[in-house]
A and B are shown apart, each in its own frame.
Chain A
Amino acid sequence: MNNILKVIKYQLRDFRIGLIIFYGIISAIVVMVTISFKNLSNNPNVSVTFSGFGMATVIFIFIVGLSCFRDSFKFMQANNVSRKSFFIGNGITLISVAALMAIVEAILDNTLRHLFPYKGLFQQLYRSNSSVADFLWSFGLYAFFISLGWFITMVYYRSNKLMKTVVSLIPVFIIILLVVINNLTGGALGQGLVSLSASALGFNNGFNAYIAVLSFWVATAVLLGVGFLLIRRMPVKE
């Protein structure tokens, strides 16, 4: 347990600067948008709506996931921390960062709505102003993307040169294969995938964000579970 807490402490310190810079930029944009809106709102011919911070957060958190494995793993190995402690500590940190950013996102969405016409990612997709649902949905979404980034780096770190090439080409092959099958089935595959995605995101019968929350957490659990299997006997590489 002791080592797990130390891993969390190290990882949070590692994320701290990135988070400060990210939210610094977001704050600067909010100030600029607020000033712009005040100017534009004087003109009766102009109608504006702002959005996009949610997507920026998704991209940022995915990059955080991508960048947080390799150096930390090596550093923990330099300090003889077991892989299990590293995995648990890292997992807790990733989920904590996702939760923190989801809280900020929910607060930001709620605050910005009162400053100017703003629609966060959640409001755009689910047409709901519930802050609790916004938080839960964002939390699940961010947990999934940060875990995805982490998982991808782990797969690359674990792979040798040949495997890295194979892993990089697999998505390309899958896309080509899906396009071919879609053409052969007269578009049925594409429709099926769209329907599947819609179901997973809670769009099939109205707008149910909680189905999406469940889907995100199932996907996150799968990524972390496979990640644990990958890390169990992962050798240290330079």
Chain B
Amino acid sequence: MGVIEIKGLTKYYGKVKALDDVNLTIEPNKIYGLLGRNGAGKTTLLNLLTNKIFPTKGDITIDGHTVFENDELLGRMFYMTEKNLYPEGLRVKEIFKWTQEFYPSFDMDHANTLCEKFGLNANKRIKNLSTGYKSILKIITALASNADIMLFDEPVLGLDANSRDMFYRELLASYNRHLKTIIISTHLIEEVDEILEEVIIIKKGRVILTRSLERLLSSAYMVYGQCHKVDQYISNRKYTGEQTMGGFKSAIVMEDTRDEALAQKLGLEFGMVELQKLFIALTNS
């Protein structure tokens, strides 16, 4: 199955609280977006999930078994870190060979095909790769690992638009070939919102929202029109993310039902809210 349960997870770095009593259930075979502003605690959470660091308090289990120093469970996860953990002197093909040792399902043919697609020379040493190609190496290794749970921390760092697009397509293809749990931490929300099923929003170390993308987007809507009329519409309603331009204004109303009659009377229009705008609205302040 592969249900990841996070209970009461707290992490301090010295006196700084990076994560504060995080409780989460990550269901198997879904694509999660882990969203948050800089320093919100996204990387800390991913690092804790894979034992790169250890919690001050709390526990992480997969199917009821603790992840702490558990080779079997750790071997079911592949974590593409933002950092480079590969020896600089090794060649790309050697990285693949050794990853295959630790991930027996590693698909060498697929890795070589991806190298061709991304234009990565498998004979190059890590130290001779640019930042973008180091990211590509980690992406290819992750995608070819065929792990049940894949975690990506800022996977498209340093990639050009073409490579980013190819990554999203290959990620979806990998997911469709073999269902798996995927967690992507990224700031490029507009780019990933089409592939996400679930969204986790983290703010100042606390999870403030965890919901399916569909439910999240249907739980809010945009209203726009003349300023004073929008003000009239949103008064007594829960709203956020106001934006004014000239005499016009838009706002995100945090309700799932729209007051069509009132909007018609005021001459306002409705629109679907975008994940990025909702995210900005939820994480501002």
- Mark the stretch among B96-104, B220-228, B233-241, B242-250 that contacts chain A: B96-104
Interface residue A208 (Cβ < 8 Å from any Cβ of B): no
Given known pairs A3-B102, A80-B74, the reply for A235 and B53 (CB within 8 Å) is yes
State how many angstroms separate the Cβ of A210 from the closest Cβ of chain B: 37
Question: In the complex the two chains form, is B81's CB within 8 Å of A78's CB?
Answer: yes
Interface residue A236 (Cβ < 8 Å from any Cβ of B): yes
Question: In the complex the two chains form, is B101's CB within 8 Å of A6's CB?
Answer: yes
State how many angstroms separate the Cβ of A149 from the closest Cβ of chain B: 18
Question: In the complex the two chains form, is A82's CB within 8 Å of B101's CB?
Answer: no
State how many angstroms separate the Cβ of B159 from the closest Cβ of chain A: 19
Question: In the complex the two chains form, is B85's CB within 8 Å of A3's CB?
Answer: no
Question: In the complex the two chains form, is A9's CB within 8 Å of B101's CB?
Answer: yes
Question: In the complex the two chains form, is A82's CB within 8 Å of B78's CB?
Answer: no
CA distance A74 to B83 in the complex (A): 10
Residues of B within 8 A of A3 (CB): 71, 75, 102
Question: Per-position contact with A for B34-53: 1 when CB-CB < 8 Å, else 0?
Answer: 00000000000001001111
Query: Which bracket fits the contact residues of B?
Result: 20 to 34
Question: In the complex the two chains form, is A75's CB within 8 Å of B71's CB?
Answer: no
Interface residue B54 (Cβ < 8 Å from any Cβ of A): yes
Dominant secondary structure at the B interface: loop
Residues of A within 8 A of B54 (CB): 233, 235
Interface residue A37 (Cβ < 8 Å from any Cβ of B): no
Interface positions, chain B 75-103, Cβ under 8 Å from A, are: 75, 77-79, 81, 83-87, 98-99, 101-103
CA distance A82 to B72 in the complex (A): 9
CA distance A236 to B102 in the complex (A): 18
CA distance A84 to B70 in the complex (A): 9
State how many angstroms separate the Cβ of B23 from the closest Cβ of chain A: 23
State how many angstroms separate the Cβ of B61 from the closest Cβ of chain A: 16
Residues of A within 8 A of B69 (CB): 82-84
CA distance A71 to B53 in the complex (A): 17
Residues of B within 8 A of A85 (CB): 71
Question: In the complex the two chains form, is B74's CB within 8 Å of A10's CB?
Answer: no
Given known pairs A80-B79, A82-B71, the reply for A6 and B102 (CB within 8 Å) is yes
Question: Per-position contact with B for A1-16: 1 when CB-CB < 8 Å, else 0?
Answer: 0110010011000000
Instruction: Give B contacts to A, CB under 8 Å.
Output: 47, 50-54, 69-71, 74-75, 77-79, 81, 83-87, 98-99, 101-103
Instruction: Give A contacts to B, CB under 8 Å.
Output: 2-3, 6, 9-10, 71, 74-75, 77-85, 233, 235-236, 238
A/B interface sample: 14 pairs, CB < 8 A:
A3-B71, A6-B101, A9-B101, A10-B101, A74-B86, A75-B86, A78-B85, A79-B103, A80-B50, A82-B69, A82-B74, A83-B51, A85-B71, A236-B81
Instruction: Using A80-B75, A80-B77 as known contacts, list a sample of 12 further A-B pairs with CB atoms less than 8 Å apart, ordered by residue number in A.
Output: A3-B75, A10-B98, A71-B87, A75-B98, A79-B102, A79-B103, A80-B50, A81-B71, A81-B102, A83-B51, A235-B53, A238-B83
